[in-house]
């Protein structure tokens, strides 16, 4: 057995790492996994930079931000695979929700209802899909609103809402539901209402380490398939709830795993495997690069090129050949698929899931020649 | 004589904060402010315009400080994590001690060294204290649970204290469980059946 240390932040979407360890997928690949919990993304990044862990469950925007010179951290970080799509939950304070008569699941109507009143929204990290989705949605659905997006550690989200420091939030489960229970928040949207296929967490490693990541990638791919299967959600919730992982009740975890949030069924709430969920598409990286560039005043063309190089679809192809279906191109037109469809893969066929932005836009950057 | 630095210690626990401040006072004449983590941390830190921010590496509020790495205005100097800088030995020592330093752009390493050394020594002491405290607390808690379980058994079976204890020990050994675990199971079951 080869010992291997991985870092994670205790969230529902750390599931592939936990399942790889607990259900024997890592062992099958000859890996003895040690999972080290971090209290913040900053701490997780330290662990990766210092070599305390070889790879980590990370916000998809963090490696890209690093490559663009935004925020802290030392060496270059690469994305070896996507661990989860979606899973973000957007909520407002109960007062605000009632005042504007907020419904559920309609980004356009909600943007109009928010109008131009000042709005402070909490997110877990400045460079996160949470922050990017909020910006994308509000700049289009509520132009002129100029929301203030502030970082609030997820465990403090409910308290911050209660204290009136923020008017709403975008956060991963189980923290959104916790804000409902503890602070009377109203869940109004999920990330998948804004973008049905947003890459949320990735497996990140220091540049160079990915060359030898085959066993880990195979274990995590199988773990993701197990975690995504509906019949496993009760078992998965029990495992994640353990004191050494999320340290909560399985009852707080299982609804989201079944696609339920705020008593609503959201089919694309979160995926660990569905379709080609784990493939690190260069076009996903490009979207993140473009959005970060817009938010931080960088040159978009250069940012997209830098971002694309962070998502190592080449290594994914090499390590998972013969196991995962491989698309013929490492790019897809993000937002262009109204319904899921099958298409020819490198060998056989694969299924691409519905991929839509709420405003119908398509992101299809021409790769730099 | 170089100008004094403004140092912020982010620490919710007043006693711990004071102990860090005491250690830093020995490292030179600096302006030191304590800020509790929580509510609007980044804003409060930015308002103080610190040269150096010290925070427990495991404090969940650290992600709020990430906002400070982006200068909000043309006159503001962004901060960087100390690990982003060159001094490898000092960085490793800080990581091992569990202290994180955020340093304003342009501050020289040699000015930081005595301050970080002092903070690192203090955080090592905290780690030892925390381990000791946790061990003592766990032992005390377990003792309490074992006493309660013993009482429940004595009551239910009408046996004496020694006999109850011996029965629990034997059962724990037979089932390959720790005595504390068995006692907890007994207490939980008794509460459910009450």
pLDDT by 10-residue block (mean), chain A, 369 residues: 96 97 97 96 92 96 95 89 97 96 96 91 97 97 92 93 95 93 96 97 96 97 96 96 94 93 89 93 97 95 96 98 94 94 91 95 73
Query: What is the extent of the structural domain holding B102?
Result: 6-132
B37 and B119, same domain (yes or no): yes
Task: Look up the CATH number of domain A2-85+199-295.
Answer: 3.40.190.10
Work out the average pLDDT over B61-82: 76
CA distance B154 to chain A (A): 32
CATH topology of A2-85+199-295 equal to that of A88-194? Answer: yes
B170 and B76, same domain (yes or no): no
Of A43, A151, A165, Cβ closest to residue B67? A151
Q: Are residues A150 and B42, on separate chains, in Cβ contact within 8 Å?
A: yes
Distances from the Cα of A249 to the Cα of A32, A199, A268, B6, angstroms: 27, 26, 23, 44
Torsion (CA) B44, B45, B50, B56 in degrees, nearest 10: 140
Closest A-chain CA to B57: A43
Q: Are residues B66 and A72, on separate chains, in Cβ contact within 8 Å?
A: yes
B118 and B139, same domain (yes or no): no
Residues of B in contact with A41 (CB under 8 A): 63, 66
Using pLDDT thresholds of 50, 70 and 90, give the confidence band for residue B84.
Answer: low
Q: Are residues B81 and A73, on separate chains, in Cβ contact within 8 Å?
A: yes
Number of Cα atoms under 13 Å in the Cβ half of residue B152: 20
Distance CA A220, CA A231 (A): 19
Whether this model's pTM surpasses 0.90: no
B18 and B87, same domain (yes or no): yes
* pLDDT of res. B148: 94
B110 and B168, same domain (yes or no): no
DSSP, res A211: G
B1 located within any domain: no
- In total, how many domains does chain B have? 2
ipTM: 0.89
Using pLDDT thresholds of 50, 70 and 90, give the confidence band for residue B86.
Answer: low
Q: CATH number of the domain at B171, please.
A: 1.10.10.10
pLDDT at B92 over 90: no
**What digits encode the pLDDT tens for the residues B133-160?**
989 999 999 999 999 999 999 999 999 9
Q: Using DSSP, state whether A46 is helix, strand or coil.
A: helix
Using pLDDT thresholds of 50, 70 and 90, give the confidence band for residue B3.
Answer: confident
* pLDDT of res. B82: 67
Distance CA A157, CA B36 (A): 17
Which H or E element spans position A62? helix A61-67
B41 located within any domain: yes
B42 and B17, same domain (yes or no): yes
Q: Which CATH number fits domain A88-194: 3.40.50.300, 3.40.190.10, 3.30.70.370, 3.40.50.720?
A: 3.40.190.10
B86 and B65, same domain (yes or no): yes
DSSP B82-140: GGGSS-HHHHHHHHHHTEEEEEETT--HHHHHHHHHHHHHHHHHHHHHHHHHHHHHHHH
Which H or E element spans position B61? none
- Asked if A40 is an interface residue toward chain B (Cβ–Cβ < 8 A), one would say yes
**What digits encode the pLDDT tens for the residues A112-167?**
999 888 899 999 999 999 999 999 999 999 998 989 999 999 999 999 999 999 99
B156 and B112, same domain (yes or no): no
Q: CATH number of the domain at B115, please.
A: 3.40.190
Distance CA A334, CA B15 (A): 53
DSSP, res A152: -
């Amino acid at each position: 057995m080869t010992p291997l240390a991985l870092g994670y932040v205790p969230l529902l979407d750390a599931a592939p790492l936990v399942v790889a360890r607990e259900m024997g997928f890592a062992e099958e690949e000859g890996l003895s996994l040690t999972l080290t919990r971090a209290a913040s993304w900053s701490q997780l990044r330290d662990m990766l930079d210092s070599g305390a862990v070889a790879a980590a469950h990370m916000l998809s925007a963090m490696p890209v931000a690093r490559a663009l010179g935004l925020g802290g951290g030392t060496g270059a970080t690469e994305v070896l695979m996507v661990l989860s799509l979606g899973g973000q939950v957007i909520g407002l304070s109960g007062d605000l929700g009632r005042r504007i008569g907020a419904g559920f699941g309609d980004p356009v109507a909600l943007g109009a209802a928010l109008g131009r009143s000042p709005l402070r929204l909490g997110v877990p990290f400045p460079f996160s899909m949470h922050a990017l989705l909020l910006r994308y949605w509000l700049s289009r659905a509520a132009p002129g609103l100029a929301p203030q997006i502030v970082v609030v550690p997820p465990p403090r989200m409910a308290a911050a809402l209660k204290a009136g420091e923020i008017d709403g939030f975008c956060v991963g489960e189980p923290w959104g539901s916790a804000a409902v229970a503890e602070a009377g928040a109203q869940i109004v949207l999920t990330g998948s209402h804004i973008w049905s296929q947003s890459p949320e967490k990735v497996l990140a490693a220091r540049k160079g380490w990915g060359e030898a990541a085959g066993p880990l990638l195979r274990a995590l791919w199988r773990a993701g398939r197990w975690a995504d299967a509906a019949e496993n959600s009760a078992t998965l919730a029990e495992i994640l709830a353990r004191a050494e992982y999320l340290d909560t009740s399985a009852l707080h975890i299982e609804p989201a795993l079944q696609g339920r949030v705020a008593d609503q069924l959201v089919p694309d709430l979160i995926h660990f495997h569905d379709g080609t969920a784990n493939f690190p598409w260069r076009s996903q990286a490009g979207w993140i690069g473009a959005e970060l560039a817009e938010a931080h005043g960088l040159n978009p063309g250069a940012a997209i090129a830098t971002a694309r190089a962070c998502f190592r679809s080449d290594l994914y192809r090499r390590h998972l050949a013969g196991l995962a279906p491989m698309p013929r191109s490492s790019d897809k037109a993000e937002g262009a698929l109204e319904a899921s469809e099958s298409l020819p893969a490198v060998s056989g066929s694969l299924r691409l899931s519905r991929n839509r932005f709420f405003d119908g836009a398509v992101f299809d950057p021409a790769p730099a020649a | 004589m170089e100008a004094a630095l403004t140092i912020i210690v982010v620490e919710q626990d007043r006693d711990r904060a004071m102990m860090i401040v005491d250690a830093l006072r020995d490292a030179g004449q600096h302006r030191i402010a304590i800020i509790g983590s929580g509510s609007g941390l980044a804003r409060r830190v930015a308002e103080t315009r610190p040269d150096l921010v010290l925070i427990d590496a495991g404090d969940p509020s650290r992600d709020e400080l990430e906002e400070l790495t982006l200068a909000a205005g043309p006159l503001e100097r962004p901060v960087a994590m100390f690990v982003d800088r060159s001094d490898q030995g000092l960085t490793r020592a800080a990581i091992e001690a569990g202290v994180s330093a955020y340093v304003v752009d342009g501050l020289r390493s040699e000015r930081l060294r005595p301050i970080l050394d002092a903070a690192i020594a203090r955080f090592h002491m905290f780690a030892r204290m925390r381990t000791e405290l946790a061990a003592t607390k766990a032992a005390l808690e377990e003792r309490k649970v074992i006493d309660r379980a013993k009482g429940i058994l004595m009551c239910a079976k009408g046996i004496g204290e020694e006999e109850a204890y011996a029965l629990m020990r034997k059962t724990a050994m037979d089932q390959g469980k720790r005595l504390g675990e068995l006692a907890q199971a007994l207490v939980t079951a008794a509460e459910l059946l009450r």
